Structures are given as structure tokens and as C-alpha cells.
Amino acid sequence: MSKSAQISSEGLRSWQVINQHAEDDALSPAARRNRLVRWAGWGTTAFTGLLILLLSAWAVRSSHAAPLRGAAGPLVMPLAKVQFTTDGVLTEAWARDFLHLNVGDPLDKIDVFALRQKLLDTRQVSEALIERDRPGTLRIALKERHPVLRVAADTGAGGYKLYLVARDGTVFAGQDFPDLVLSQVPWMSGMALHRSKDGSGFEPVPGMDAVADLLKTARTHAPQIAAQWMVVDLGQFDPRPQAPLSLIKVPKSGDLGQLTFDTTSAAGDFATQVDRLTFVAHTVQDKALLVSGLDMSIPDQVVVRLLSAPASTRHTR
């Protein structure tokens, strides 16, 4: 029905034809303020709920990764793995056992400084880096000493024990070295080991870098001769830089007998002396000479000590 139809015949208008429309936000200022406060309340509640939900999810996930909350409060990171590297022969299994590292131990309670010192005290380890890699890894990186000579030394308890001497002179017990390698390390003679003042081991042997250099040069330039060196005699070795006389002797080098090398450079460097040795050794072999020793310590010469006349030129009656 149209609005005009609602006008009566007397011309009177009904209340129903009065426009009843009102705007949706037709609120008083106070009502609007109340509505805003209500909406803000709902928003805050929703945001807080979402935050709690996210935090709970993060906490659950983190708890799976490692940290646990102990009864006392602080986070406890258990040791999950040891990441071990070395340039030598020691193994991760040895490190775990020697340092008493067990999976599950609290990572933060591991005294890395004490462990490092314990490793260095073996003297086989020359450098040790230990650090935590949270959440659960302990990194151990070692540098080790390698044997130049070996020596049987009095343990102080009535017995003898094998020790190794490194290039820097450090004397160490030698853990995990393969027999094949040890069998090729010459024995040291002619120089006594001295116990360190704290009794924990032996004082370093001075001048071992010269011995190491000689052995390395000989193994490179005269490998078949050097392979026969079982003992290195340091009885006349003087490690002082300005020493007037300093000799390294090899008491027995196969058929060549005793070899003598100079360390003062008066007779040339080791490469020169080893080259002379190689040349004379070939000559000795070619001429079937029986020799008791070769001395390379005299400048520009090699002294050949003959054991007897050459087999081919011996006079017979």
C-alpha cells in the first residue's frame, strides 16, 4: 500500500506514515565512548590470548630442542654431542673417556678451562680449543705433537716406560700412536731426561728442532739410508746457537756404520751433508768398501773410516 493511500478520507494522516528511519550510529557521544571501550576490551583479550598461544607453542618446541627447566629454576642444557677434531691421532672416544664427558651432562656445568688444562697436561696436546655450541654441543679442537725420537725413561716407580720427544722438545707418553709409526721413530741416546720441578713429567729436551730437521732431510733425500736409523746419539750435541761443536751421530746405519753430522752449519746445511752422504754411500757400495763410519761434519769433506781394504783389491798370498 502506498503512503498516499494511508491518508484518510477526512484528510488526517496516520502515525504510520511518519518517517521512522534512523541512522545505525545514531548514538549519543556517551554511547559511542562506551562502545569503543567495549571493543578495546575485546581486542585486548583476543591479543593476549593469541600471545599466550604463541608463547606456549614456542615453549613446547624449545623444550624438544634441549633446554629443560629444572626444579630449581635455571635452564639446563644437556650435552647432546661432542664435536671433535684433531690434526693427530687422538679420537673422540678417547676424549669422551679422558674428560669424563657423558651425553646428558649439563652443558653449562662443564668446566671448559679445567678440561683444556687436563688436555694440555697430557703434553701430547699442544693446543686445545673447547667451547660450548648451544643448545647441546661441546666443540673440542686439538693440535697434537708428533714424535721425533723415542726414549725409555725411568718412571720413578722402579720401572721404565716409553716416552716420545716432540720437535719442540716436549716429552710425552704418546697415546694412540700406531705401532707402524712408532717402529720408525729412532731411539734417543746420549742425553738424559730431567724430571720437571713439579714432578709431573720431564723438562723439554733442547734443540730437538735440529734433530727433526736432519731426520726430515734424510728421509726426503736419502730415504733408504734413513730407514735404517734406529738410534740417534746426542752425546756430543750442543743446542746453544753459538756452540763451537755440536754433532748428531747415528751409531749404526746399515753397512755404512756410524754417521756423524754437524749442526752448527760449519759443514753446510743438512741437505748438503745428506747429499754428500748419498754420494759417498754409492761410492762405498760400488767399490765394495767395508766401512765403520762416515763423518759429514767437516767442511767440504767426508771422512770415510775403512774397516778393511776393499774386497776387490785385497792382496792374497
Partner 1 sequence: MRTEGESSVAVLCGSDSAERAVSLVTGQAIADALKQEGFTVKIFDLPGRELPAALDPAHDVMFPALHGGWGENGGVQADLDARGFAYAGCGPEASRLCMDKVETKRVLAAAGLPVLPHVLFTGEKPSSASSLATKLGSTIIIKPVAEGSGIGLHRAGNRPELAAALKKLTPGRWMAEPWVRGREVSVGVLGGRALGVVEIRPKAGASYDYEHKYTAGMTDYFFPASLEPALTEEIQSAAAGAFAACGCRDFARVDLMLPPAGGCVILEINTIPGCTPTSLLPKSASCCGYTFPKLARAMIGPALERFAVIAATP
Which residues lie near partner 1 (CB under 8 A)?
A: 83, 85-89, 144, 146-147, 167, 176-178, 180-181, 184, 216, 219-221, 223-224, 226-227
Q: Which is nearer to partner 1, 86 or 189 (CB)?
A: 86
Is the four-CA dihedral 177, 178, 181, 185 of positive or negative sign? positive
Largest Cα–Cα distance in the chain? Answer: 178
What's the min distance (Å) between Cβ of 78 and partner 1? 18
Q: Which is nearer to partner 1, 141 or 190 (CB)?
A: 141
What's the min distance (Å) between Cβ of 181 and partner 1? 4
What's the min distance (Å) between Cβ of 137 and partner 1? 8
Q: Which is nearer to partner 1, 73 or 178 (CB)?
A: 178
What's the min distance (Å) between Cβ of 174 and partner 1? 9
158 CB contacts (<8 Å, ≥6 apart)? none
Beginning with the edge strand found earlier in the chain, give each strand of the sheet holding 137-144 in spatial order: 81-86, 137-144, 125-133
Beginning with the edge strand found earlier in the chain, give each strand of the sheet holding 290-295 in spatial order: 171-172, 160-166, 147-154, 187-189, 231-233, 247-250, 258-262, 290-295, 303-308
Bin 117: left if φ > 0, else alpha if -120 < ψ < 50, else beta.
alpha
Q: Which is nearer to partner 1, 124 or 246 (CB)?
A: 124
What's the min distance (Å) between Cβ of 124 and partner 1? 11
CA dihedral (281, 284, 285, 291) in degrees, to 10, reads: -100
Q: Which is nearer to partner 1, 169 or 247 (CB)?
A: 169
What's the min distance (Å) between Cβ of 316 and partner 1? 23
Q: Are 282 and 298 in contact (CB under 8 A)?
A: no
Reported as half-sphere exposure (CB side, CA atoms, 13 A), residue 214 has a value of 29
141 CB contacts (<8 Å, ≥6 apart)? 84, 85, 86, 128, 129, 130
Q: Which is nearer to partner 1, 34 or 283 (CB)?
A: 283
What's the min distance (Å) between Cβ of 224 and partner 1? 5
What's the min distance (Å) between Cβ of 217 and partner 1? 8
Q: Which is nearer to partner 1, 148 or 193 (CB)?
A: 148
Q: Are 172 and 166 in contact (CB under 8 A)?
A: yes
Q: Which is nearer to partner 1, 154 or 176 (CB)?
A: 176
Could you tell me which of 168, 188, 170, 259 has the C-alpha nearest to residue 222? 259
CB atoms within 10 A of CB 40: 10
